[in-house]
């Protein structure tokens, strides 16, 4: 009986030792080499808020949450009834100013004829005055008439210049109103997906009021934090990998696009080496836009995962972090 118990105890101890050894061996396999940094994060995309430039009433919202939109697509329209009336008035002012220009040009032609006649009369009066056939008062009167005609011509030319400037001002006003009308069509600045619909038809928004939010699915990244001893070996453009929690079988290639110049978590007084090693720096790992375009329909923000970064230009990836992607969706 004692022998059986001893044998059983030995077998149990051997099993425990074997399990412990297997666990240690697995841990060794899963352990990352020193030239790879890692951090947890979530998939994020650049958000673009499409907002009104001027205060006004929302007439129509054409986008729904989840819609894929192309750059330049009209997402919403603002009420432009008042602006259309202002544009009609500006165009009427332009027509009136152009009529004033035509009238001023005709008046200049008249004043030039009057000046020419006055100069001829003055010339004849001076000639007859030299012969003694007319009194000096007549010559003086013809001189005054010539000067009056010259002044009237100058005034007509000034009026023409003023009328032309009025046309330019009215045309500028029309362009300003037309620009406001054009800005009342809210367009998507980028290709992306509608994340939020923030306003509905009939709402009155102040200038800068947000109507929809567009996610730029070609600007997708994960933000992680690395300690001091690792971030010093990270360089912009370094290779990276992303593994998402819901699909751990895939390894997504990426690159480091940003490394913070200041620590995010800083002790109040950094004096010792151990305290300096507690500093954490923000690092942004970005997925290539070309790759994202192949999987646009599958890109989702907020998905948690882990990012891995090569620490050094000559470092290589282990086989467990070799790129592995799903088949792109068929269209």
Per-residue model confidence (pLDDT) at position 159: 94
Per-residue model confidence (pLDDT) at position 270: 47
Taking residues 59-70, report their average pLDDT.
Answer: 94
Q: Is the pTM higher than 0.75? A: no
- Which of 28-37, 193-202, 254-263 is predicted least confidently? 28-37
Query: What is 81-182's CATH number, 1.10.1040.10, 1.10.287.620, 3.40.640.10, 3.30.300.180?
Result: 1.10.287.620
| SS3 per residue for 63-87 | CCCCCEECCCCEEEEECCHHHHHHH
Per-residue model confidence (pLDDT) at position 295: 86
Average pLDDT, the chain: 86
162 pLDDT above the threshold of 50: yes
pLDDT in tens, 91-132: 999 999 999 999 999 999 999 999 999 999 989 998 888 888
pLDDT category of residue 85 using cuts at 50, 70 and 90:
very high
Per-residue model confidence (pLDDT) at position 261: 86
**Any idea where the domains of the chain sit in the sequence?**
50-80+185-205, 81-182
Taking residues 135-155, report their average pLDDT.
Answer: 92
pLDDT in tens, 286-330: 999 999 988 888 888 899 999 999 997 777 899 889 999 988 776
pLDDT in tens, 166-207: 999 999 999 999 999 999 999 999 999 999 999 999 999 999
26 pLDDT above the threshold of 50: no
What six digits make up the tokens of 139? Answer: 């010559």
Per-residue model confidence (pLDDT) at position 31: 67
Taking residues 233-253, report their average pLDDT.
Answer: 93
27 pLDDT above the threshold of 50: no
Contact residues for 39 (Cβ-Cβ < 8 A; gap 6+): 224, 225, 226, 283, 306, 307
pLDDT category of residue 21 using cuts at 50, 70 and 90:
very low
Residue owning tokens 């751990």: 248
Same fold, 50-80+185-205 and 81-182: no
Q: Helices in 184-287 by DSSP H: which ranges?
A: 228-231, 273-276
- Which of 14-23, 59-68, 167-176, 251-260 is predicted least confidently? 14-23
What six digits make up the tokens of 287? Answer: 């997925």
What six digits make up the tokens of 229? Answer: 């001893």
pLDDT category of residue 139 using cuts at 50, 70 and 90:
confident
DSSP 253: E
CA dist 204 to 82, 135, 177, 261, 325, Å?
14, 81, 19, 43, 47
CA dist 61 to 79, 178, 180, 209, 216, Å?
11, 21, 18, 14, 19
Per-residue model confidence (pLDDT) at position 296: 83
pLDDT category of residue 77 using cuts at 50, 70 and 90:
very high
Per-residue model confidence (pLDDT) at position 25: 37
CATH fold of 50-80+185-205, please?
OB fold (Dihydrolipoamide Acetyltransferase, E2P) (2.40.50)
Per-residue model confidence (pLDDT) at position 29: 40
């Amino acid at each position: 009986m004692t022998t059986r118990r001893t044998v059983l105890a030995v077998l149990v101890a051997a099993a425990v030792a074997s399990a412990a050894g297997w666990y240690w061996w697995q841990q060794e396999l899963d352990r990352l080499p020193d030239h790879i940094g890692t951090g947890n994060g979530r998939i994020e995309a650049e958000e673009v808020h499409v907002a009104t430039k001027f205060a006004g009433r929302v007439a129509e919202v054409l986008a729904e949450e989840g819609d894929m939109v192309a750059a330049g697509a009209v997402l919403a329209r603002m009420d432009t009834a008042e602006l259309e009336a202002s544009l009609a008035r500006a165009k009427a002012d332009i027509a009136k100013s152009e009529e004033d220009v035509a009238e001023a040009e005709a008046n200049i032609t008249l004043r030039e004829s009057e000046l020419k006649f006055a100069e001829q009369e003055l010339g004849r009066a001076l000639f007859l005055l030299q012969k003694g056939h007319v009194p000096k008062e007549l010559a003086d009167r013809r001189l005054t008439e010539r000067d009056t005609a010259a002044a009237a011509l100058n005034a007509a030319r000034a009026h023409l210049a003023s009328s032309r400037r009025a046309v330019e001002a009215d045309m500028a006003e029309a362009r300003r109103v037309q620009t406001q009308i054009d800005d009342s069509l809210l367009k998507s600045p980028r290709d992306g997906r509608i994340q939020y619909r923030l306003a509905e038809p009939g709402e009155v928004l102040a200038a800068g009021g947000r109507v929809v939010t567009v996610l730029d699915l070609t600007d997708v990244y994960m933000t992680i934090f690395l300690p001091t001893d690792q971030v010093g070996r990270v360089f912009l453009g370094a290779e990276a990998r992303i593994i998402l929690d819901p699909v751990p079988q895939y390894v997504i290639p990426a690159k480091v696009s940003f490394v913070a110049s200041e620590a995010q978590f800083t002790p109040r007084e950094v004096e010792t080496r151990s305290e300096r090693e507690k500093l954490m720096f923000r690092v942004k790992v970005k997925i290539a836009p070309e790759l994202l375009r192949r999987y646009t329909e599958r890109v989702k923000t907020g998905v948690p995962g882990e990012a891995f970064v090569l620490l050094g230009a000559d470092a290589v990836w282990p086989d467990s972090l070799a790129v592995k992607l799903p088949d792109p969706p068929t269209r």
